[in-house]
Amino acid sequence: MSKVVEISPTTRHEGHSKLVLKVNDEGIIERGDWLSITPVRGVEKLAIGKTMEQVPKIASRVCGICPIAHTLAGVEAMEASIGCEIPEDAKLLRYILQCANRMHSHAIHNILSLPDMYIPGTDTKINPFTKEEPVRSVALRIQRLREIGQTIGEIVGGEAIHPSNPRVGGMYTNITPRAKAKIYDLAKEARVLAQQQMEFMIAVFRNYQKRDWAEVGGVEVPIPDDLGYHNQGYMATAPVYGSSSLDENPTWFPERFTEVRPWDWYMGEVEITEADPNYPIGGTTPVGNKAWPQMEACTGVPLYDGQPVEVGPRARQAIFKNYDEKGTIGLQIARQMEFPETAYGIIDAVDALNTSGKVLADEIPQGDGSLGWAANEAPRGTDVHLARVKDGRVQYYSMLVPTTWNFPTCSRALEGAPWRLAEVIMRGYDPCVSCATHMLVIDEDKRLVAQKLIQ
């Protein structure tokens, strides 16, 4: 007979989510629901009537980890709607921003994943904040990579967190020759550090893959060989940057996208019948409480070609580099494989950049209400923004962000795993939940059902 376990909230990622798990007598997950419980922010509604310059800046505020990706996707959705091509040097500056953001984000994810892992050859879990070697040097390297990514982001974007330099039509300003030289020096330093970090992290993940068990809350849990496997597809638009409806050959297709309600996807009301007070951090939900994923989920469920898809590093590696390793560890390793190319990408773009070049289009149309979209390959996966702009004002705006795509796919990947390893699988997806929350639940009469979520 199935039992129900709830882990709420999940930890070591951005935003708030929960896991509701039906498990068998051996504690193996028969059905897993991973859902956002972050309150709705309503960015799509806030956008209506605003200027096309305001909306990308509003959209970037949904997250402090990948605001560069949201800014670029938002700006380019506007440009796609109004039909505005930008100068080549503006594209290069945006490419540098993209690589810097990925370098910073992957480094953060290493910090969040390491406590699940072990020092190779030992049964000692990794505490990334210990002063003991070799972990101390690794932590310092991670922080330096983050610092380099943020510094380059600030130089090119104007601000380290929410970039102010990108604008509809290109960039407000080009960088100076001195700034170019500094970025070049930073990227050369990062190239060495990123290679070292990739090699260390892959060794740590391979070590976990070879282990028979992991300790969670004082319990030795068997690690299955197929931890985190799923049979869903992948979706990615480019190895590094992305695509938009302005492209001659776009690589994302809106007609292949559909969305269903959480009511039609997640399980109904259930009672918690299994609990572990020693589970980190603070134990699982006590027995006797209720969970109702259908009503609690704060996102829609996006499908591509009628099924959930995985987005992110492995999807990019699988589609563009024939990478074929499945499971949670395969996903983690794919992320590490992207580390060095963030530095090489910056170096190549800086080499090509003309600091005297034009970075703003001569003419910026005001739009006739046509639909435009931009699909940016954010660190966590494909970040699609869609817009309609008329006379400089936004008539329609929608964000299909990476973790929204990964919620249903990861839920499938939980099946067959011990429930105590469910968060290890979830963290492999590098969840960034806050920006994924953008849905209001209405009934068949268009009445708001989940009003409590926006109060």
Rounded-to-integer distance, Cα 149 and Cα 101, Å: 6
Q: What's the Cα-to-Cα distance from 171 to each of 77, 189, 351, 359, 418, rounded to whole Å? A: 15, 26, 18, 6, 49
- Distance between CA atoms of 322 and 432, rounded to whole angstroms? 26
Neighbours of 388 (CB within 10 A): 20
Distances (CA, A) of 455 to 68, 440, 442: 28, 12, 15
Q: How far apart are CA 143 and CA 162, in angstroms?
A: 20
For residues 259 and 267, what is the distance between their CA atoms, to the nearest angstrom?
A: 17
What residue ranges in 102-241 does DSSP mark as E strands?
166-167, 170-171, 213-216, 219-222, 233-234
Beta bridge partners of 376: 242, 383
Tokens linked to 419: 């429930």
Q: Which two tokens stand for residue 397?
A: 């705006």
Q: Is 438 annotated as a binding residue?
A: yes
How many C-beta atoms surround the C-beta of residue 199 within 10 A?
A: 13
Residue 84 annotated as binding? Answer: no
CA 145, CA 186: separation in Å to the nearest integer? 10
Integer Cα distance of 155 and 189 in angstroms: 16
The answer to the question of whether 103 is labelled as a binding residue is: no
CA atoms within 13 A on the CB side of 213: 9
The burial class, CB within 10 Å (0-12 / 13-18 / 19+), for 337 is middle
Residue 163 has phi, psi (to 5 degrees) of: -65, 135
Is 63 marked as binding a ligand? yes
399 is in an annotated binding site: yes
List the Cα angle 153/400/442 in 5-degree steps.
140
410 annotated binding-site participant: no
Identify the burial level of 217 via C-beta atoms within 10 angstroms of its C-beta, where 0-12 means exposed, 13-18 middle and 19 or more buried.
middle
66 annotated to bind ligand:
yes
Structure token pair of residue 101: 């953001």
Q: Sheet containing 381-390: which strands, arranged edge to edge?
A: 242-244, 368-378, 381-390, 393-400
Residue positions forming the annotated binding site for Ni(2+): 63, 66, 432
Residue positions forming the annotated binding site for Fe cation: 66, 435
Residue positions forming the annotated binding site for Mg(2+): 44, 399, 438
Residue positions forming the annotated binding site: 44, 63, 66, 399, 432, 435, 438
